[in-house]
Amino acid sequence: MPTVNTPGLSLQRIYSYVNRLPLFTRLVVAAIVLFEAAAILLGNWWDVRAWGALAPDELGFGSLYRTNTYPLIHTDMFHLIVNLVSVTPMLDMFEREHGTLTTLALFIGPLSTLPALLYVGAEKYVLGLHSPVMGASIWAFLLAAIEAVRMHRVHPYFVIAGQSFPVWATPLAALVVTMVLWPKTSALGHLCGLAVGYICGLGLLKYLAPPEKVLRWIEGRLNLLGRLPHYVSVDQKTHGRFGVLPMSNLGATPVLINAATASALQLRRDPRILKLPPYLSLLCIVVGVAWLLLLPLDQYSRRTYISENALLPGQVHTYFSGSDQNVFRAYKHEVNALVGKSNAEINDKLEPIVKGLGLKTARQNFTYHAAGHTYAGENLYAILQAPRGDATEAIVLVAAWENVKHEINRNGVPLALTLLRYFKRWSLWSKDIILVLTPDSIAGPQAWVDAYHDAHDPSRVASLPLKAGLLQGAIAIDYAQESRFDSVHIVYDGVNGQLPNLDLINSVVHIAGGQMGIGVALQEMWRHDNGYSDRLRTMLRGMLKQGLGLPSGPHSSFIPYHVDAVTLQPFGEGWQDEMAMGRVIEGTFRSLNNLLEHLHQSFFFYLIMHRERFVSIGTYLPSAMLVAANFTIMAIALWVKSGQAPEAAASKSKADTTTTPPPTPTVERDLFLPLGVVALIQSLSIVPLYLFNHAPESILTPLFIAFTLINTALPSVLSHLLTQTYAPTAQQYQLVKSFSLLLLGMFLSSLATLNFSLALLTGLLAAPLSFAGPCRSRRTTTCRAAAAVLLHALGPPAVLLAAAAYSRAGVAAVLREAAVGWHVCGTYSPLVVWCVWWPAWLATSVVVLGKGEDGDGDGEGKGNGKGNGKGNGKGNGKVKTT
């Protein structure tokens, strides 16, 4: 069956599905949701979970109700979602088959009580434990077991890699997977569910079901059918085969790769499962986002801790105070006198001062061209050689003349000078200390670091005449505000979303917050009540910055070279003076000075949501991977489907006989046209990348407008050309989309390891692409128009515009920033937008507007909307005609 509703999973279809849920299923779902709501709302007065959970010890005659309530109660939102998602379809099927009354009787009675008793028995008297369980997953496994037994009767084996596995064992596999994924779930409980399910599936529990004529009698007397909506009568119930359920639904969603391959294998068996992938991938996206929203909760985030023992933050007494303040004032006078002077004059003034401290100084010129502007300047830097050390390691102190907001660093520069003078007196430095004074916060540090590692282009950036050893860390001072301050703001995002080692941030937090009693803020969260919303906001801001990948301060350029760096930024009105700031830096330097090894212990991938809470990669990566995986699933589904048309016919012919359809699709896919189209579109993507990165700022806006116009026309033009020249078939359109989605998924999942946030953002923005499909033959034009509008609303240009509007910067400014990042710091966000997202978008638009013989999509869609056999018939009828 070709284009069934695999493409174009619309809300209306979900709605209709929900609408068709039978009565008891609805009741169960409602009850579950209500209980959860109660648990959340009345949490303080009435602990639902304690009340309803199946706790072996508290199970007496008075509390037998627990054996019925426990499936309706869940530990948390996530648990709830997963269970609902897995139980509802199966319960739906079960009820459709057996009728509401039977289902009611069974599920209120034995099917929840038996597993409960079994569990209690095993837990309490065999294992001697007493951990309470709850959740509908037990039903899920029970139903799965029943279903698996039935499936086993139909065709006993399915084959993976030459091995043939018995179908009845699949729930066991699911059980294992669940155990692995959530160790905290009660495997024993699930096992009980399975056991009962198997027994029931083998028909040993028939006698538990109420006899039919009783049911008929009840129905007759009460006229339930008339009174109750969505009631499934004893007569209505369908006698056909149970709908097949994907194993992945039991194995609960996040096992997508397994799910994908498993379904790919199953697809050979049962074309009906073709309905599944869109839901599956929608599920991926939903779960991915839900996952992200769960992270700030205490169960999912962790407290920060220092894992590098050598750091010993805040263990030393700091002496930076007293008469050094007089010196600081003097230096500040000097610096104030220089405000407004040119870069060269400033350096001419500052160099003798630094020399006067007994340091070796040197200068470096640099010139960058980006977006028609020239970013040139001269860095001044000085090396304080470690008194007894050898030139093997160094720590860097950066004080840019201007910060990113182009405010003069009035206090930072004198503070840095005073600190260096103070450090010179100590003999305990084991590493050289390098003071870098840069004219600006982006280009200057970048040029210096590049030259330090000889990764610079000699024609634009001069190489350094003076060098020390390996850079072990860098601290940048951004102290532009005049008045005294209240707290310190730690800026830690590097170029392309790379982050410094978490230990560095932790030690600064320790020293400032713990030792000095200075507040610490992250991500411009000036005040932070350690609550859910603030955590979430901090995390999202961090992700946004990470995703944009632009430098956020002088420290950003260091991080790509594996030099851990942060910028310290005093803010707020308080009573802390410059000396306090100096002591924070002194403490940090002493900690870095203690380091024996390069910082490597702690995390490099994390999301910080509070100064003492973070999430490490293991916890958050799945959400991006899920989003990326949804594309892959759709790609696989489309691929399989594109090879399947005649097989459906075969299966139809053998519909009643239980012989399985032939495993190998006999239809040949012709790959060359789709491959060509995808390759062409991918290569097209060079054009916008080059244009927007090399156009001068003045013409950026007109260029963007022009591009948007062309971009609007491009899909229809391309699809028109395609139709005119090659007249591609529906299958080829599917293949085009499959390949582009595959590429997208691949790019995103590899990007997720480099820059998680960027991958997630792109994935979410591109999510609609996996659902947009060829339109139905009826009301084609309107549908096409609608789809086109929708796609354009979510296309790169529109999103860029929105971003510009949101940041109130104007498109030109946004594009200029991107270009500067691209040329100076090597930010690759533009590459991702133009060479990953845009091609996928274009390909999908072409497919959507494509005029292939995709008429059968409609019939399929409707056909599959309701019952299955008919859908096949209709679909195959059309397939034959094509």
Partner 1 sequence: MDGTKVAPGRTAGLYAGAAVLRLAIFTLLPGLANLLTGRVEVSTPVTSFKRQGLFLYNRNVSPYDGGVYHQAPLFLPLFSLLPSFSSFPIFTYLLYIVVDLLSASALWRIADSGEAGSSALFTSPRREKRWSGFGIAALFLFNPFTVATCIGRSTSVFTTCAILHAIAKAVSGAPFGAMVALSFASYLSMYPLLLLPPLILLCYDRQCPERAINSGFRFAATCVATVAGVLAVLFQLSYFITGSWEFLPSTYGVQLTLSDLTPNVGLWWYFFIEMFDSFRSFFLAVFWLHLSSYVGGLTLRIRRQPLVVLTLLLGIFAIFKPYPSISDTSLFLAMVPLYRHVFPLMRYTFVIAAVILYAAFLGPAFYHLWIYAGSGNANFFYAITLVWGLGQSLLVCDLMFAVLRDEWEVERPEMVGKEIRQI
Partner 2 sequence: MRQFLSLFWLSFLSLVFFSPSAASAADYHEQLVLRPLPQSALLASFNFRSNTTVSEFEKGNFRFFPRSLGQILQHAGTRELHLRFGLGRWDAESWGARPWDGAREGGTGVELWAWLEADTDEEADRKWLTLTNALSGLFCASLNFIDGTRTTRPVMSFQPEGDHATVSNLHLLYGVLPHEVVCTENLTPFLKLLPCKGKVGIATLLDGHKLFDASWQSMAIDIRPVCPADGECVLQIEQTIDMVLDIERSKRPRGNPIPRPPPGHELPCDTSKPYHSHDTCFPADHTANQDWSLSQIFGKPMKGTCPLTDPTVPPVCIHVPDTRSVFVSEGVRENKSASGASRCFEIPPSADFDMVLPRPSESDPAANQTPDSAIVPPETPLLYAERSFTGHGQERGGVQTILRNPSPDAAVEFIYMESLPWFMRIYLHTMEARVVAGAGGSAHARARPDESSSLIQQVFYRPAVDRARGTQLEVRMRVPPAATVFLTYDFEKSILRYTEYPPDANRGFDVAAAVITILDPDHPGPRSDQGSPAAGAGTSSSSSRGSGGGRRFAAYTLRTTTLLCSLPTPDFSMPYNVIIFTSTAIALAFGGVFNILVRRFVAADEGPEAGLAVLVGRLKGRLLRGAGQAVKGKS
Task: Please give the residue ranges that form the binding site for partner 2 (CB under 8 A).
Answer: 157, 161-163, 319-327, 329-331, 333-334, 356-358, 360, 385, 387-393, 421-422, 425-427, 453-455, 458, 462-463, 465, 467, 469-470, 561-562, 596-598, 600, 660
Q: Which is nearer to partner 1, 287 or 638 (CB)?
A: 638
Q: How far is the CB of 389 from partner 2 (least distance, A)?
A: 7
CB of 650 to partner 1, least distance (A): 9
Pick 342 or 666: Cβ nearer partner 1: 666
CA dist 813 and 666 (Å) reads 55
Minimum CB–partner distance for residue 581 and partner 2 (Å)? 16
Residue with tokens 């632009």: 550
366 or 707, CB closer to partner 2? 366
Residue with Cβ nearer partner 1 (470 or 793):
470
The one-letter code for the residue type at 5 is: N
Give the shortest CB-603-to-partner 1 separation in angstroms: 9
- Those residues with Cβ within 8 angstroms of residue 690's Cβ, 6 or more apart along the chain or in another chain: none
Q: Hey, what are 20's tokens? A: 């068709």
Q: How far is the CB of 798 from partner 1 (least distance, A)?
A: 28
- Short-list 740, 594, 760, CA closest to 679: 740
Going by DSSP bridges, is the β-strand pair 432-438/157-160 parallel, antiparallel, or unpaired?
A: unpaired
Contact letters (x/-) for partner 1, 745-774, by CB under 8 A? -xx-xxx-xx--------------------
| Near partner 1 by CB under 8 A: residue from 15, 46, 65, 157 | 157
Cα separation values, 233 from 33, 109, 226, 843, Å? 26, 19, 10, 48
Q: Which stretch binds partner 1 (CB under 8 A): 46-54, 417-425, 680-688, 743-751?
A: 743-751
Nearest approach, Cβ of 162 to partner 2 (angstroms)? Answer: 6
Alpha-carbon distance of 86 to 66, in angstroms, equals 22
User: Shortest gap between Cβ of 849 and partner 1 (angstroms)?
Assistant: 26
Q: Determine whether 623 is an active site residue.
A: no
Q: Which stretch binds partner 1 (CB under 8 A): 57-65, 174-182, 630-638, 675-683?
A: 630-638
600 contributes a contact to partner 1 by CB under 8 A: yes
CA 827, CA 677: separation in Å to the nearest integer? Answer: 29
Q: Which of 300, 604 has the CB closer to partner 1?
A: 604
558 binds partner 1 (CB under 8 A): no
Catalytic, out of 74, 190, 555, 610:
190
C-alpha count within 13 angstroms, C-beta hemisphere, residue 857: 30
Tell me the closest approach of the beta carbon of residue 615 to partner 2, in angstroms.
22
User: H or E stretch including 561?
Assistant: none
- The number of CA neighbours under 13 Å toward the Cβ of 291 is 22
Shortest distance (Å) from residue 589 CB to partner 2: 15
Residue from 161, 223, 725, 806 in contact with partner 1 (CB under 8 A):
161
86, 137, 487, 651: the active-site residue? 137
Query: Can you tell me the distance from the alpha carbon of 531 to that of 528, in angstroms, rounded to the nearest whole number?
Result: 8
The residue within the footprint of partner 1, chosen from 10, 666, 782, 807 (CB under 8 A), is 666
Q: How many CB atoms lie within 10 A of CB 12?
A: 9
Instruction: Give the shortest CB-304-to-partner 2 separation in angstroms.
Output: 21
Query: Cβ 317 to partner 1, closest distance in Å?
Result: 33
Should residue 742 be labelled a site residue for partner 1 when binding is judged by CB under 8 A?
Answer: yes
Binding segment for partner 1 (CB under 8 A), chosen from 27-35, 172-180, 282-290, 598-606, is 598-606
Query: Does 683 interact with partner 1 (rule: CB under 8 A)?
Result: no
Cβ 882 vs Cβ 825: under 8 Å: no
Q: d(Cα 439, Cα 171) in Å, to the nearest integer?
A: 65
One DSSP character per residue, 326-353 reads HHHHHHHHHHHHHTT--HHHHHHHHHHH
Element (H, E) at 811: helix 811-820
The entry of partner 2, partner 1, none that residue 357 binds, CB within 5 to 8 Å by partner kind = partner 2
Listed in sequence order, the residues at least 6 apart from 600 whose beta carbon sits closer than 8 Å to its beta carbon are 308, 501
Residue 654 sits in the site that holds partner 1 (CB under 8 A): no
- Containing 359, the helix (H) or strand (E) segment is none
Using CB under 8 A as the binding rule, whether residue 162 contacts partner 1 is answered as: yes
Q: Which listed residue (12, 657, 664, 724) binds partner 1 by CB under 8 A?
A: 664
Q: Give which of partner 1, partner 2, none residue 534 binds (C-beta under 5 to 8 Å, depending on kind).
A: none
**Is residue 653 at the binding interface for partner 1, with CB under 8 A as the rule?**
no
137 is catalytic: yes
Compare residues 33 and 376 and give the one whose CB is closer to partner 2. Answer: 376
Beta bridge mates, 373: 370
Comparison of 47 and 670: residue with beta carbon closer to partner 1? 670
Task: Give the CA distances from residue 40 to residues 54, 68, 106, 531, in Å, rounded to whole numbers and listed in that order.
Answer: 19, 21, 29, 16
The residue among 126 and 596 lying less far from partner 2, judged by its C-beta, is 596
| Helices 756-766, 532-548: inter-axial angle, 10-degree rounding | 90
- Distance from C-alpha of 53 to C-alpha of 859, rounded to nearest angstrom: 47
Angstrom distance (rounded) from CA 403 to CA 837 = 33
Q: Does 39 bind partner 1 (CB under 8 A)?
A: no
Residue 614 dihedral angles phi and psi, to the nearest 5°: -150, 165
Q: What is the DSSP string of 11-75?
A: HHHHHHHHHT--HHHHHHHHHHHHHHHHHHHGGGT--HHHHHSB-TTT-SSTTTTHHHHGGG--S
Q: Among partner 2, partner 1, none, what binds residue 604 when CB lies within 5 to 8 Å by partner kind?
A: partner 1
Contact region with partner 1 (CB under 8 A), list: 88-96, 360-368, 392-400, 659-667: 659-667
Nearer to partner 1, 530 or 666 (CB): 666
Q: What is the DSSP letter of 497?
A: G
Structure tokens at 615: 């999430």
Which range binds partner 1 by CB under 8 A, 77-85, 186-194, 657-665, 701-709? 657-665
Rounded to the nearest 5°, which phi and psi values hold at 293? -70, -20
Strands 373-384 and 613-616, sheet pairing: unpaired
Q: Does the protein bind partner 1 through residue 38 (CB under 8 A)?
A: no
Of the candidates 446, 472, 630, 632, which one interacts with partner 1 according to CB under 8 A? 632
What whole-number distance in Å separates Cα of residue 448 and Cα of residue 456? 9
Q: In the structure encoding, which two tokens stand for residue 679, read together?
A: 């390759």
Q: Which helix (H) or strand (E) holds 525?
A: none
Count of residues engaged in binding partner 1, rule: CB under 8 A: 34
Pick the binder of partner 1 from 605, 631, 733, 841 (CB under 8 A). Answer: 605
- The amino acid that residue 203 corresponds to is G
CB burial readout 126-162, b (16+ within 10 A) else e: eeeeeebbbbbbbbbbbbbbbbbbbbbeeeeebeeee
Q: Which of 482, 573, 597, 668 binds partner 1 (CB under 8 A)?
A: 668
Query: What six digits make up the tokens of 575?
Result: 């009573």
Q: Is 676 one of the binding residues for partner 1 (CB under 8 A)?
A: no
User: Quick one: what does residue 390 bind among partner 1, partner 2, none, with the CB cut-off 5 to 8 Å set by partner type?
Assistant: partner 2
Under rule CB under 8 A, residue 154 binds partner 1: no
Segments in 426-526 forming alpha helices (H): 443-452, 502-509
Look at residue 261 and give the partner it binds from partner 2, partner 1, none, a contact being a CB closer than 5 to 8 Å depending on partner kind. partner 1
Binding residues vs partner 1 (CB under 8 A): 157, 159, 161-162, 164, 261, 264, 498-499, 560, 562, 598, 600, 604-605, 632, 635-636, 639-640, 660, 662-664, 666, 668, 742, 746-747, 749-751, 753-754
Q: Kindly list the catalytic residues.
A: 137, 190
